Amino acid sequence: MTADIAAAPAGQAVPLPPDHPKAGSGRIGVLLMNLGTPEGTGYWPMRAYLKEFLSDRRVIEEPRWKWWPILNLIVLSTRPGRKGKDYATVWNRERDEGPLKTITRSQTEQLAERLKPLAGDRIVVDWAMRYGLPDVKSRLQALLDQGCDRILMVPLYPQYAAPTSATACDQAFRALMQMRWQPTVRVSPPYHDDPVYIDALARSMRASLAKLDFEPEVILCSFHGMPKAYLLKGDPYYCQCVKTWRLLRAELGLSEERFPLTFQSRFGPDEWLKPYTDETVKALALAGRKSMAIVAPGFSADCLETLEELDGENREIFLHNGGERFAYLPCLNDSPEGIDVIAAVVRRELMGWI
């Protein structure tokens, strides 16, 4: 489809040169956006990924002059090697990519199938990563090239945080800033208290627990952490995590003691949101708990932070300190429950467009 272009004041068409840019219109794009993952587990791809990630001022709020030497002289000389080894333990060797990419692609494909009855080929679903590939700018352009003049951007984070949701949108808006003909855009809101999300989490957890050959004494509810200072400056992430936890606890009928809330993945010397997951796991084992499970409702897809850190490192901490049985309950991922949630958010946010 080619859009109507300019008309002369008298109503006559302006003759356009043959190289005049062609533009499509009339379709709707849905862009799922997640965090991103390195292109490989070796030193250089790991370094490139961490440099892009940790140079983002939404992630590290330290002044440039202070952070630049620490990042370039210390962090980027040691962390790529160490984290590359961690990534290697969860890497999808068949596709040669991190699990976050494999799962986000599958979520996209399944969402497209779910939306087909709604508007046929009028809706185009795609995915992009804030750091690394596929990048936000090129996937936005791909949607425009397919005739999408309305685009719904969907940060795949149930809880809003400046270092995740906001930076994904910043990246999209930076690309939009360079466009002569911008599409009309919408951004889907956080869905931390959406009954569809809470219900999907509860169903998924019940199914995972039913497959275990033991009943965990404690089920830890672990969210990715952030510096406490970001909360104090007004980031709503902590409060949204607490609300998800409260609603999920009520839905499952679990007490605060049986289903404690913790925060993982601390980085650097500053205080982060507490209680810390690793310290809590150790304390539970030392207090004589023999069995436990961990669930991570803040991640829409399993990734390094869940598969390696929770299912790997924290399992080891528990078993080395006297625990006997440990289970990691998977994220919603591309399960039917997971797609129920993304499809519900997208359908609601497309209202008025379809």
Ligand X SMILES: C=CC1=C(C)c2cc3[nH]c(cc4nc(cc5[nH]c(cc1n2)c(C)c5CCC(=O)O)C(CCC(=O)O)=C4C)c(C)c3C=C
* Interaction partner, residue 157 (Fe ion, ligand X, none; CB < 5-8 Å by kind): ligand X
Give the range of 189-197, 214-222, 274-282, 303-311 binding ligand X by CB under 6 A. 303-311
* Interaction partner, residue 303 (Fe ion, ligand X, none; CB < 5-8 Å by kind): ligand X
Helix or strand run (H / E) with residue 184: strand 184-187
Residue 98 binds to ligand X (criterion: CB under 6 A): yes
Q: In the window 122-161, what residues touch ligand X (CB under 6 A)? A: 157, 161
Crossing angle for the helix pair 43-54 and 76-90, to the nearest 10 degrees = 110
Residue 37 binds to ligand X (criterion: CB under 6 A): yes
Residue 329 binds to ligand X (criterion: CB under 6 A): no
Provide the residue type at 237 as one letter: Y
CB of 208 to ligand X, least distance (A): 20
Residue 260 tokens read as 């404690």
**Can you tell me which of 47, 150, 224, 282 binds ligand X, judged by CB under 6 A?**
224
**Within a 10 A sphere around the Cβ of 106, how many other Cβ atoms?**
17
Q: How far is CA 95 from the centre of its chain?
A: 20
Nearer to ligand X, 73 or 351 (CB): 73
Is 320 labeled as ligand-binding?
no
**Can you tell me which of 104, 107, 108, 164 binds ligand X, judged by CB under 6 A?**
164
Q: In the window 55-84, what residues touch ligand X (CB under 6 A)? A: 59-60, 79, 83
* Interaction partner, residue 37 (Fe ion, ligand X, none; CB < 5-8 Å by kind): ligand X
Nearer to ligand X, 29 or 272 (CB): 272
Tell me if 264 sits within 8 A of 278, measured CB to CB.
yes
**Can you tell me which of 188, 265, 314, 335 binds Fe ion, judged by CB under 5 A?**
265
Provide the residue type at 8 as one letter: A
* Residue 122, C-beta contacts closer than 8 angstroms, at least 6 positions apart: 26, 27, 28, 354
Give the range of 26-34, 98-106, 124-132, 297-305 binding Fe ion by CB under 5 A. 297-305
Is 20 labeled as ligand-binding?
no
The residue to which tokens 């352009």 are assigned: 141
* Interaction partner, residue 309 (Fe ion, ligand X, none; CB < 5-8 Å by kind): Fe ion
Give the range of 11-19, 48-56, 330-338, 342-350 binding ligand X by CB under 6 A. 48-56
Tell me if 354 sits within 8 A of 122, measured CB to CB.
yes
Tell me if 127 sits within 8 A of 30, measured CB to CB.
no
CB of 341 to ligand X, least distance (A): 16
What is the rounded distance in angstroms from the CA atom of residue 224 to the CA atom of residue 71?
21
What is the rounded distance in angstroms from the CA atom of residue 72 to the CA atom of residue 166?
25
* Residue 37, C-beta contacts closer than 8 angstroms, at least 6 positions apart: 49, 87, 97, 98, 99, 100, 101, 129, 131, 132, 303, 304
Q: In the window 309-338, what residues touch Fe ion (CB under 5 A)? A: 309
3-class DSSP state for residue 299? Answer: coil
- The DSSP string of 212-240 is SSS--SEEEEEEE--BHHHHHTT--HHHH
Residues within the interface to Fe ion (CB under 5 A) = 265, 305, 309
Residues belonging to the binding site are 224, 305
Q: Where does this chain bind ligand X (CB under 6 A)?
A: 35, 37, 50, 53-54, 59-60, 79, 83, 98, 100, 157, 161, 163-164, 224, 226, 237, 265, 267, 298-299, 303-305
